[in-house]
Amino acid sequence: MERTNKEELLIEERDGTGRITRRWLHSPDSHKITQVRAPHHHPLPHIANTSNTAAGFVVNMRQILYDAFLPIGYPDSVTPDYLGYQTYDSLQAFFSTITGLLSNRAILQGLGVGDPNSSATYALLLTVLKDGISRVATIVFAYRFGLVIEPECKRYRFLADIFNDSAFFLDLFSPYFDPWTKVAAIVLAEALRAMCGVAAGASKAALSKHFARRNNLSELNAKEASQETAVGLVGLLVGSIVVRFVEGREAVFALMVFLVFVHLGMNYLGVRCVQLAILNQQRATILFEHYAQTKRVLTPAQVASRENIVFWSPVIKNHRGEVVARIRFATSYADAMAADVKSTGTRHVLIKCEGQSEKEGMAAAGFVLCVCEDGDIATVKILLLGDDSHDEANDRNTLKAWYYAILIGRDRQLGTKTGTRKLLGAIPVDEIKIDDEDEKLDFEALREAGWDVKEANLDAFAPRIGMCYTGKKKQ
């Protein structure tokens, strides 16, 4: 029902997250619209709004800075670990800019700037060689590691800066080498810089995908570029002063060592802040081992605190810290069927699915575990069955395969053997039924703890096997 009085209307504007961005008063008599200057409710500290024009200007400028460098709707539009990572990422970019200036001065000296015995042709040919090697290194590195960067994005984000800083040191020392060694150092530095570009670009894309909550992936990338540009400008200003006053070889070397260690430290702390909710091999191993021991599900934050950023291998240890098993995906069908060179025995294990009839194909289980015994240490190879489509069912089978591989690695006598079947009448497989409900993987508990069980990043190079008799349609 319409009101008959002439009260002013209060209009509120909200962004996509439901946050109030503006308030207006609309007078029915004069049709006058005025903006209500209320305090800006932003998650970061703000200056209370007053009638003072200067204070209002400061508030507006601060809002402009927020909108320029933070995603719209922050913090609701990103994950909670976004600000911590971006803070350290900006700091490492600052120190990297200063290091780059010192390195560039050495590169110019290596190209012959200031050397009367050097020619422009020599510098040009050296530049062509650098660029050519850089392009080849980009192609080779992307071909070899492109598929594993997303599952290991934290590791490759850190390794990218190790590549970059190694290139800085090669550039720094290149003027002091003999001509041929100088060329080799400059070319190798360019190759390392190309590897850094691939690793950093791909890992940043994976991290941005993790941070984005409201289909704002492109905005996050744009805002990150703005942040790096602003930090880079400050770094250029400070670096120009540093380069002007630090010229001695010992002083430059000492400063480079300091800057590189601080740079790597900031990068390490940055990736340490990230709490990925999609399981890769390391996170799955940490999560499933703890679950098998305690029946409690760790959260992404708890698993992140236990992750090893650089050095990790998929091994299972007992309570004394001794390695009892190694886990990996079979690289091919032949790899799964063949015994390891040092193994004393090999058996193939199928985890029987509930409700699966005896007539159903074995592919219904989703995987076969190939256990190769080698004394006290076993190698458990996972052979994935089914099609190559990337759907939720396949990802769940992959998670279950890794979970049961861990259990069998810890206890070779896991479950109850219900018999031996043959895959299409050819491959003997021990069928095991898990009797204890506590040994089964609870996907609902994983989801409640914050894990994304609809996607898994465990099997980057693992093939999925489809089988049939010759001349018949495969299973």
Q: What would the DSSP string read from start to end of 17-80? A: TS-EEEEEEE-TTT--EEE--PPP--SS--PPP-S-HHHHHHHHHHHHHHHHHS-TTTTTTB-T
Half-sphere exposure of 147 (CA within 13 A, CB side): 7
The H-or-E segment that residue 328 falls in is strand 323-329
Q: Between 400 and 14, where is the model more confident?
A: 400
- Tokens for 1? 């029902």
Of the pLDDT bands very low, low, confident and very high (cuts 50, 70, 90), residue 249 is: confident
Which of 60, 89, 44, 103 lies closest to 230 in space, CA to CA? 89
Residue 136 has pLDDT above 70, yes or no: yes
Helix orientation angle between 217-245 and 179-211, rounded to the nearest 10 degrees = 140
**Which of the two residues, 134 and 47, has the higher pLDDT score?**
134
Residue 357, pLDDT > 50, answer: no
pLDDT band at 417, cuts 50/70/90? low
- Between CA 199 and CA 149 the distance in angstroms is 7
Check the CA dihedral 425-417-459-437 and report its sign.
Answer: positive
Residue 469 is predicted with a pLDDT of: 61
| Beta-bridge partner residues of 13 | 22
At 204 the pLDDT is 93
- Which comes out higher in pLDDT, residue 57 or 24? 24
Return the number of other C-beta atoms located less than 10 Å from residue 276's C-beta.
Answer: 22
pLDDT exceeds 60 at position 1? no
Q: At what angle do helices 249-273 and 153-173 cross, to 10 degrees?
A: 170
Mean pLDDT check: name the lowest of 246-260, 288-302, 407-421.
407-421
Query: For residue 196, what pLDDT band results from cuts at 50, 70 and 90?
Result: very high
Query: Where exactly are the structural domains of the chain?
Result: 9-69, 82-273, 279-465
What residues pair up with 323 in beta bridges, in sequence order? Answer: 317
- Does domain 82-273 fall into CATH 1.20.1250.20? yes
pLDDT at residue number 418: 56
Cβ atoms of 174 and 185 within 8 Å: the answer is yes
264: pLDDT strictly greater than 90: yes
Instruction: Please give the pLDDT value at position 44.
Output: 46
- The Cα–Cα gap between 263 and 281 comes to 28
The reported pLDDT for the residue numbered 364 is: 55
- Residues 88, 270: contact at Cβ < 8 Å? yes
Residue with the larger pLDDT of the pair 361 and 65: 65
Nearest one of 259, 142, 155 to 206, comparing CA atoms: 155
Read off φ and ψ for residue 52, nearest 5 degrees: -70, 130
Q: For residues 472 and 475, give the distance between their C-alpha atoms in angstroms, rounded to a whole number.
A: 9
Rg (CA), the chain: 29
Q: What is the pLDDT of residue 82?
A: 93
Using an 8 Å Cβ cutoff, are 40 and 48 in contact? no
Tokens representing 431 are 């069928």
Q: How confident is the model at residue 40 (pLDDT cuts 50, 70, 90)?
A: very low
Q: Contacts for 241-249 with beta carbons within 8 Å, 24 or more apart? A: 242/98, 242/101, 242/102, 243/101, 243/102, 243/105, 246/102, 249/176
38: pLDDT confidence band, cut at 50, 70 and 90? Answer: low
Q: What is the pLDDT of residue 50?
A: 41
> Do the beta carbons of residue 372 and residue 412 sit within 8 Å?
no
Q: How far apart are CA 457 and CA 459, in angstroms?
A: 6
pLDDT at 215 over 80: yes
Report residue 103's pLDDT band, with 50, 70 and 90 as the boundaries.
confident
Across the range 401-408, mean pLDDT stands at: 88
**Of 152-161, 329-338, 388-397, 432-441, where does the model show the most confidence?**
152-161
d(CA 279, CA 271) in angstroms, rounded, equals: 16
**Intra-chain end-to-end CA distance of the chain, in Å:** 66
Window from 115-119, 192-196, 209-213 with minimum mean pLDDT: 115-119
Q: What average pLDDT does this structure show over 45-62?
A: 58
On the question of pLDDT at 15 being above 80, the answer is no
Whether 467 shows a pLDDT value over 80: the answer reads no
The answer on pLDDT for 455 being more than 80 is yes
Q: Which residue has the higher pLDDT, 92 or 54?
A: 92
d(CA 151, CA 134): 25
214 compared with 470, residue with greater pLDDT? 214
Smallest CA-to-CA distance from 151 within 248, 279, 50 is with 279
Distance of CA 354 to the CA centre of its chain: 35
The mean pLDDT value of the chain amounts to 80
| 278-287, 412-421, 437-446: least confident range | 412-421
